[in-house]
A and B are shown apart, each in its own frame.
Chain A
């Protein structure tokens, strides 16, 4: 009954299938290779001594405790600033803004921000935060630079989850006589907490991986400091330390140890983001 496929059609089908399989295979294999290579070369070099000391020129040892702490400090400082800004902006866009033009402008600038390369953030951060505001090269200046970088991420995820709060919740609360702010505070925000958390996780991932923006704003010192003193002074995060150890000092063992730590953290963050993201999606589709 049916005409058999011509040779050309068969060939096309086979070729396209092959290309799809090969490409997906290459992507998967690359990821697998990267993970395996970094973990295999890195994990043997991770020792308690490396994790718990600071570099010492006298004993000629390298420790990455200061870099770990700096990373933690910068994550905390960035989130403290970016959360209110990003969530606030998202609330404005979804709950308050009536002017379509203004919304378009804000969304366009947010897209623009997420497209700007980190080296440019680093440069402007250096000019504005370090020099103009007089913060010098410090973790705090680095954190403020990262605040601008992560603003779009927090805004987008918060906006998505705000939109997923059913309109009827708001109407119900309004009908009971609540003011707009009260509705947002007691009904809308609690209902969108999962989106905000997803945004936080994604931001932490970005902060952990960022290096170009921090090189000239946060510097690369390895001093062991407390939180507030640390924020005020120059310090390398794990990524910056990796760069310095690998490129400038040729300490590849330490670099791989840091890379393995970063890889494990990336894996964890991806898992967490996938988990919270899935919950967000389920709620939206309901």
Chain B
């Protein structure tokens, strides 16, 4: 018996080692992405100057005297995300409460699979429908020369973040102990009051996590926005054609060179920093939710 065990050991150690390496692949990938973005993003920022790059209001990458200010992109991303949140969070929140607490089982199944489907629809399909329904619609309703605008992007993003918000909030709401709700009902609160004054506060960190996840999705979306936002490097305004951080990278990458190309990597680095902040916040919220 003893000898047999000894014989087996090298194989077991080898297998253990292989799995350790496989386990570390994700760590390697994150390091790889970070290192590449930092290395390729720093040179342009150095050449342009950090303040001029981040707070410059003009982006003229192909002009004879180019200027690389990405404030329009940053503000567009921030406003666009905020707008999408303003539209998407209330709808997502109330849908989630309805699904988790109030909906009859059959309705719940139907709406939940609809939400799952929304999550699965490719972003280019959202972009296509946005291009042909939303953009002409905005042009007609608001009587503006071109409907490809920040508003169109906000609406598309609001729809795209709905499923993330709903799914995570539903999970959080369903995890609220039933005793809390029973106690509230026994004290004479109506079901609706119980949902909003007991269940929602109890699930608040999960719901906050859902919102943060939505922020991350919205700020990172590229293709759908590219198809409806018009892509001109204006300062953000609701009915003007705008460019987001993501679309700034995507729209010029194909033909860029030299400093322009390096500046695009710097934009990606800025976007990456935003995302890392959001991820950290998300993790914090989820941890707090689990600790309870």
A148 within 8 A of B: yes
Whether the Cβ atoms of B115 and A31 lie closer than 8 Å is yes
B63 within 8 A of A: no
Known contacts A124-B33, A128-B32, A23 near B98 by CB under 8 Å = yes
From B33, B91, B122, B278, give the contact of A208 (CB < 8 A): B122
A interface residue count range (under 10 / 10 to 19 / 20 to 34 / 35 or more): 35 or more
Which residue of the partner chain A has the closest CB to B25?
Answer: A85
Which B residues are CB-close (under 8 A) to A273?
116
Known contacts A22-B94, A27-B166, A155-B26, A92 near B20 by CB under 8 Å = yes
A117-142 CB contacts (< 8 Å) to partner B:
117-124, 126-128
B158-184 CB contacts (< 8 Å) to partner A:
159, 162, 166
B50 within 8 A of A: no
Q: Which of A57-65, A190-198, A262-270 contacts B (4 or more CB under 8 A)?
A: A262-270
Which residue of the partner chain B has the closest CB to A41?
Answer: B132
Whether the Cβ atoms of B30 and A239 lie closer than 8 Å is no
Whether the Cβ atoms of B125 and A263 lie closer than 8 Å is yes
Q: Which of A45-53, A72-80, A166-174, A240-248 contacts B (4 or more CB under 8 A)?
A: A240-248
A19 within 8 A of B: yes
Whether the Cβ atoms of B272 and A246 lie closer than 8 Å is no
A222–B93 CA distance with the chains assembled, in angstroms:
43
A180–B159 CA distance with the chains assembled, in angstroms:
48
Shortest Cβ gap from B234 to chain A (Å): 19
A215–B250 CA distance with the chains assembled, in angstroms:
8
A13 within 8 A of B: yes
- Per-residue CB contact flags for chain A residues 211-235 toward chain B (1 = under 8 Å, else 0) read 1100110000000000000000000
Which residue of the partner chain A has the closest CB to B272?
Answer: A120
Whether the Cβ atoms of A259 and B125 lie closer than 8 Å is yes
- Per-residue CB contact flags for chain A residues 8-44 toward chain B (1 = under 8 Å, else 0) read 0100110011011111101110111011011000000
From A2, A88, A255, give the contact of B23 (CB < 8 A): A88
A210–B123 CA distance with the chains assembled, in angstroms:
8
Which residue of the partner chain A has the closest CB to B163?
Answer: A27
Whether the Cβ atoms of B253 and A247 lie closer than 8 Å is no
Shortest Cβ gap from A263 to chain B (Å): 7
Whether the Cβ atoms of B127 and A112 lie closer than 8 Å is no
Interface centre among A20, A22, A97, A247 (most CB of B within 10 A): A20
Known contacts A30-B118, A246-B131, A117 near B22 by CB under 8 Å = no
Q: Which of B67-75, B190-198, B235-243 contacts A (4 or more CB under 8 A)?
A: B190-198
Shortest Cβ gap from A104 to chain B (Å): 10
B interface residue count range (under 10 / 10 to 19 / 20 to 34 / 35 or more): 35 or more
From B18, B99, B283, give the contact of A108 (CB < 8 A): B283
Whether the Cβ atoms of B159 and A148 lie closer than 8 Å is no
A38–B126 CA distance with the chains assembled, in angstroms:
10
Interface of A is mostly: helix
Which residue of the partner chain A has the closest CB to B121?
Answer: A266
Shortest Cβ gap from B102 to chain A (Å): 6
From B102, B222, B265, give the contact of A117 (CB < 8 A): B222
A165–B253 CA distance with the chains assembled, in angstroms:
47
Which residue of the partner chain B has the closest CB to A178?
Answer: B8
Which residue of the partner chain A has the closest CB to B27?
Answer: A109
- Per-residue CB contact flags for chain B residues 141-163 toward chain A (1 = under 8 Å, else 0) read 00000000000000000010010
Which B residues are CB-close (under 8 A) to A66?
none
A119–B190 CA distance with the chains assembled, in angstroms:
47
Whether the Cβ atoms of A16 and B196 lie closer than 8 Å is yes
Q: Which of B54-62, B78-86, B106-114 contacts A (4 or more CB under 8 A)?
A: B106-114
A13–B123 CA distance with the chains assembled, in angstroms:
37
Interface centre among A102, A205, A211, A274 (most CB of B within 10 A): A211
Which A residues are CB-close (under 8 A) to B92?
23, 27
A266–B227 CA distance with the chains assembled, in angstroms:
21
> Lowest 9 CB-CB distances: which A-B pairs, in order?
A117-B220, A88-B22, A92-B23, A209-B122, A23-B94, A31-B114, A20-B98, A92-B19, A119-B222
8 A/B residue pairs, CB under 8 Å, sorted by A: A31-B114, A109-B30, A119-B268, A120-B37, A181-B11, A211-B223, A215-B253, A263-B121
Q: Given contact pairs A24-B98, A259-B128, enumerate 12 new A-B contacts (beta carbons under 8 Å).
A: A24-B107, A27-B166, A28-B114, A31-B114, A92-B22, A96-B16, A109-B30, A115-B216, A127-B36, A151-B25, A212-B222, A246-B128
